[in-house]
Structure 1
Amino acid sequence: MKKAGILNRHLSGALAELGHGDGVLVCDAGMPVPDGPRVVDLAFRAGVPSFAEVLDGLLAELVVEGATAAEEVRAANPAATALLESRLPGLALVPHERLKELSAGARLVVRTGEARPYANVLLRCGVFF
């Protein structure tokens, strides 16, 4: 049994399959989940687990070379904006509709229980060397 890191076997296994350039959408409970990508749904109750908890757990295990979020997050969810900007330097912002289009190309979707608007980010995997 693992003693640290992400313990969810479905999520841990999905992360191990990712490669350079693959997309990972970390999303709130309301984000439409596109057909195609593998989905690990962690949502339990409204707010559980939070977007921040899941994002921090993923960032501890992934190499991320880029990230994209919806520009609407700035006005609608200042807490998520602060979190994203502090964790992901160089964050790109696009209209929410564009983020939904881009998410269709993700390899993995991780759905949280987050119940605040626009708590979504598309991460682009990098390499550790």
Structure 2
Amino acid sequence: MKKGGILNRHLAGALAELGHGDGVLVCDVGMPLPQGPRIVDLAFRAGVPSFAEVLDGLLEELVVEAGTAAHEVRAANPAAAELLREHVRPLSYVSHEELKGLAAGARLIVRTGEARPYANVLLRCGVFF
């Protein structure tokens, strides 16, 4: 049994398969999920687990070289926008419609229970060396 870190076996296994340049979409419950990418659905109830909890856990496990979020998050969900500004650098913004299109190219989608709008980010994996 793992001692710590991400304990969900589906998510831990999916993270172990990621490589440099792979995309990981961390999304709220309302984000449409495209066909193609592997999906680990962590949503349990509205708000559980939160976007912040899942993002923090993923950032502890992954090397992230950049992120992309919807510019709508800044007005519609200031708490998520601030979280992203603090923890994902560099962070670029596109329209929500464009982010939905980019999601289809992700290698992994992690769906949270977040029930506030635009709590979504596409992370690009980096390398540790």
* 3-state DSSP of counterpart to 2:69: strand
> Where do 1:64-83 residues align within 5 Å?
64-83=64-83
Aligned counterparts of 2:60 and 2:71: Cα–Cα separation in 1 = 25
Deviations 1:62-120 (CA, angstroms, capped at 9, x unpaired): 00001000000000000000000000122100000000000100000000000000000
Identity %: 81
- Amino acid in the other structure paired with 1:27: C
- Equivalent residue pairs, number: 129
Give CA-to-partner distance per residue, 1:19-76, whole Å, 9 cap, x none. 0000000000000001000000000000000000000000000000010000000000
Q: 5+ residue gaps in structure 1?
A: none
Q: Aligned ranges for residues 23-102 of structure 1 at < 5 Å?
A: 23-102=23-102
Q: TM-score, normalised by structure 2?
A: 0.99
Alpha-carbon separation, structure 2, partners of 1:89 and 1:33: 25
Question: Which residue is 1:16 aligned to?
Answer: 16
Structure 2 SS opposite 1:66: strand
Q: Are the aligned partners of 2:48 and 2:112 in contact in 1 as well (CA < 8 Å)? A: yes
Q: Which runs of 5+ in 2 are unaligned?
A: none
Q: Which runs of 4+ in 1 moved over 2 A?
A: none
SS of residue paired to 2:97: helix
Residues of 1 paired with 2:102 and 2:113: CA distance?
21
Instruction: Supply the distance in 2 between the matched residues of 1:125 and 1:112 (Cα, whole angstroms).
Output: 19
| TM-score, structure 1 normalization | 0.99
Give, in angstroms, the shift of residue 3 of structure 1.
1.2
C-alpha contact 2:34 2:103 (8 A) present in aligned 1: yes
